[in-house]
Amino acid sequence: MTISAERPEVVEAMVPPAIVEPRKGRRGGEWLSQHVGTATICGFLGYLLGHWLGNYIGSAYPYIANSGQNALAALLALMFMVLGWLLGIGALNYPLAKLVGREAKGDVEYSGWTRYFRYNLDHKVVGIQYVVGVLLFFFTGGLLAMAIRTELLNPTVHVFSADTYIKIVSEHGTIMMMMASSVIVGPLGNYFVPLMIGSRRMAFPRIEAFSLWTFIAGYFVIFSALAYGGFPTGWTGYAPLQTQAGPGMVSYLFGFAVISIGMMTAGFNLAVTIINYRAPGMTWSRVPVFVWSIIATAALLTLASPVLAAAGLFGLLDRTAQTAFYVTEHGGSSYLWQNLFWFFGHPEVYIMALPGFGIVGEIIPVFCRKPLFAYRIAAAGMIGVALLSFFVWQHHLFQSGINPDMRPLFMLTTELISIPTGFIFLVGMGTLYKAKIRYEVPMLFCMAVYFNFLIGGISGVFLSDVPVNVTVHGGFFVLSHFHYTIMGGLIFAFFAGLYFWLPKMTGRAMNKKMGLWHFWTMFVFFNLTFFPMFIIGLLGQPRRVFTYAKNLQTLNEFSSIAAFCLGASFLIFVANLMWSQFIAPEKAPSNPWDSLGLEWQTATPIPYYNFERIPVIMTDPYHYSEIGAPTLADFGDAQPAYPSSSVATSTDPDQ
Partner 1 sequence: MGSEENDLRRIVIIWVVLSVVGDLLYWLFVGPHVPPGRMTTTAKDNQFDFNVLMLIALPVMIGVWEWLGYAAVRWNARRKDMPESVGGPVAAGNKRAEVSWIVITTVAVLFLAVFGIVALYAGNGSGGGEGPNPIQQPAGAVKAETAALAGNGSWSPNSNEVLPVQVIAQQWKFTYRYPTFGGFESPDLILPVNTEIAFNVTSLDVIHSFWAYQLEVKADANPLENNVAFTKTEQLGNFEVRCSELCGIWHGAMFNPGKVVSESAFMTWASSTESKNATNTANLPPFAWTYAPDANGAAGGYYPDGGVTPYSTVEIYGSKQPS
Residues numbered 117-176 forming contacts with partner 1, rule: CB under 8 A: 162-163, 165-166
* Binding residue (CB under 8 A) for partner 1 from 411, 490, 603, 617: 411
> Which residues ranging from 544 to 573 are in contact with partner 1 (CB under 8 A)?
544-549
450 touches partner 1 by CB under 8 A = yes
- Of 233 and 293, which CB lies nearer to partner 1 in the complex structure? 233
The secondary element (H helix, E strand) that includes residue 85 is helix 71-89
379 touches partner 1 by CB under 8 A = no
CA 447 to chain centre: 20
284 touches partner 1 by CB under 8 A = no
The β-bridge partners of 477 are none
* Binding residue (CB under 8 A) for partner 1 from 433, 512, 582, 585: 433
Beta strand segments in 20-158, E: 23-24, 108-109
* Binding residue (CB under 8 A) for partner 1 from 11, 45, 402, 575: 402
Which residue type does 522 have? M
Q: Are strands 616-617 and 23-24 parallel, antiparallel or unpaired?
A: unpaired
Which stretch in 30-38, 129-137, 256-264, 538-546 sits in contact with partner 1 by CB under 8 A? 538-546
Length of the chain (residues):
655
CA–CA distance, 546 with 535 (Å, rounded to integer): 18
> Which residues ranging from 381 to 400 are in contact with partner 1 (CB under 8 A)?
398-400
**Considering CB under 8 A, how many residues would be counted as binding partner 1?**
104
429 touches partner 1 by CB under 8 A = yes
192 touches partner 1 by CB under 8 A = no
- Of 275 and 321, which CB lies nearer to partner 1 in the complex structure? 321
* Residues near 146 by beta carbon (within 8 Å), at least 6 away in sequence: 563, 564, 567
Burial of 116 (0-12, 13-18, 19+ CB in 10 A): middle
> Which residues ranging from 518 to 537 are in contact with partner 1 (CB under 8 A)?
none
The secondary element (H helix, E strand) that includes residue 634 is strand 633-634
* Residues near 513 by beta carbon (within 8 Å), at least 6 away in sequence: none
465 touches partner 1 by CB under 8 A = yes
CA–CA distance, 231 with 109 (Å, rounded to integer): 41
Instruction: Please choose, from the candidates 445, 609, 587, 435, the residue with its C-alpha nearest in 3D space to the C-alpha of residue 503.
Output: 587
- Of 585 and 630, which CB lies nearer to partner 1 in the complex structure? 630
In whole angstroms, how close is the CB of 518 to partner 1 at the nearest point? Answer: 19
In whole angstroms, how close is the CB of 414 to partner 1 at the nearest point? Answer: 9
| Whether 546 contacts 162, CB under 8 Å | yes
Angle in degrees, 0-180, between the axes of helices 162-180 and 123-151, rounded to the nearest 10:
150
> Which residues ranging from 237 to 256 are in contact with partner 1 (CB under 8 A)?
238-241, 243-244
471 touches partner 1 by CB under 8 A = yes
Binding characters for partner 1, 478-517, by CB under 8 A (x = yes): ----------------------------------------
* Long-range residue pairs from 392-396, CB within 8 A, at least 24 positions apart, any chain: 392/346, 392/417, 393/339, 393/342, 393/343, 393/345, 393/346, 394/339, 394/342, 395/346, 395/463, 395/464, 395/469, 396/338, 396/342, 396/345, 396/346
CA–CA distance, 566 with 530 (Å, rounded to integer): 10
CA–CA distance, 214 with 261 (Å, rounded to integer): 7
In whole angstroms, how close is the CB of 241 to partner 1 at the nearest point? Answer: 4
> Which residues ranging from 196 to 235 are in contact with partner 1 (CB under 8 A)?
232-234
Which stretch in 119-127, 283-291, 341-349, 456-464 sits in contact with partner 1 by CB under 8 A? 456-464
In whole angstroms, how close is the CB of 332 to partner 1 at the nearest point? Answer: 9
Which stretch in 256-264, 459-467, 487-495, 562-570 sits in contact with partner 1 by CB under 8 A? 459-467
> Which residues ranging from 65 to 104 are in contact with partner 1 (CB under 8 A)?
66-67
Which stretch in 134-142, 465-473, 633-641, 642-650 sits in contact with partner 1 by CB under 8 A? 465-473
> Which residues ranging from 313 to 332 are in contact with partner 1 (CB under 8 A)?
322, 324, 327-330
539 touches partner 1 by CB under 8 A = yes
Cα distances (Å, whole numbers) of residue 518 to 32, 69, 88, 469, 511 = 41, 46, 38, 35, 11
In whole angstroms, how close is the CB of 291 to partner 1 at the nearest point? Answer: 18
* Binding residue (CB under 8 A) for partner 1 from 21, 102, 467, 550: 467
* Binding residue (CB under 8 A) for partner 1 from 185, 300, 372, 641: 372
CA–CA distance, 95 with 210 (Å, rounded to integer): 12
111 touches partner 1 by CB under 8 A = no
CA 63 to chain centre: 41
